[in-house]
Amino acid sequence: MTKDLALKYRPQTLDDIVGNKSTILSLKSVLHREQGPPKSFLFSGPSGCGKTTLAKILKKEFNCHDRDYHYYNTANTRGIDTIRDMGKLAQYSPLGGKVKFYLLDECHMLTKDAQNALLLLLEDPPAPVYFALCTTNPEKLLDTIKTRCHKFPVVSLTRNLMLKLLREVISKEFNDPFPDTILNEIAFCAQGSCRDALKMLDTVANIPDDDDALEAIRDSSVGETSTLEICKLLLNGNKNKWEELSKMIKTVDAEPEKLRYSILGYLASVLLNNPKGDDRIGRMLSIFINDNMYSGKGGIVLQLYLASKL
């Protein structure tokens, strides 16, 4: 087996992308429109769902030479000087090709001053310059930045698509199939993230005992314990649980959308395993069904509050 499955199976073209069909179709459409592609793209969605991968594929679509490609992890370089330097460099002609491509990862981490400077750059970019912005928290971006970009929401994989992907990779990498219990646990704990799922698959590849493999998957799932504790508290019959739940939420570091997706999956699993059904769980599911891509932490806090009152 080849290690680093997440890297080996990272999509290289738009046609390689699993899921997000409408987003891919929309992206292909604007890339080939008569008036030319847009100058700036905004990819938003949960961690591990393919935002940065899509941005890097764009670089290839534009035939951008490596010398003209600039990647910024704005979680580390988030100040106004970074954007000012970028603006100065953008004025120069491409060194190896016809376009220059700037990728700003986790762009919501930029300071307010840096965002304002970026806004000016997005409003009137040099002709050969294109921008891709990636964020897990679009609600932290200036509205004026979002309106300057073509927006492409990227969502986590559904359970069925995740299982299909895992089985395809396993068929190529391993001599024997994996038990469904292992695959289902990976699909649940990965919370829709292809990257996390393939990393978990790497983790258990050489563990012969199924119980040990399941424990390893759970241990590698960041924040899973907190999520399970939240779900168990939601499901107990105590009507006055918001005080305890609110304290628990403050200690959870998971991104709002990943937390929602995990809670949704857990509640759905509980309901499916109840042959008589449960109207209260059904009402909870209806609360968590809508994403928090633009409402962020406030959105998930409201959902948890409403669910705690059922």
The string of pLDDT tens digits covering residues 58-110 is: 999 999 999 999 999 987 888 899 999 999 999 999 999 999 999 999 999 99
pLDDT at 145: 96
pLDDT confidence of 224, banded at 50, 70, 90? Answer: low
Residue 131: CB partners within 8 Å, gap ≥ 6? 39, 40, 41, 101, 102, 103, 104, 121, 122, 125, 149
Residue with tokens 């292909």: 28
Least-confidence region, from 83-92, 115-124, 165-174, 240-249: 240-249
Taking 60 as the threshold, does the pLDDT of residue 121 lie above it? yes
CATH annotation of 20-153:
3.40.50.300
pLDDT at 10: 93
Domain segments of the chain: what residues? 20-153, 159-220, 224-308
Mean pLDDT of 232-236: 85
Q: Element (H or E) spanning 194, and its range? A: helix 194-204
pLDDT at 114: 94
CA distance 290 to 273: 23
In the chain, helix, strand, coil percent, each to 5? 55, 10, 35
Q: What is the dihedral of CA 267, 270, 274, 279, to 10 degrees?
A: -20
Give exposure, 284-298, as e/b (b: 16+ Cβ within 10 Å): bbebbeebbbebbee
pLDDT at 223: 53
CATH annotation of 159-220:
1.10.8
Residue 39 is given by DSSP the state S
- Percent of the chain residues topping a pLDDT of 90: 49
Average pLDDT, the chain: 88
Taking 90 as the threshold, does the pLDDT of residue 116 lie above it? yes
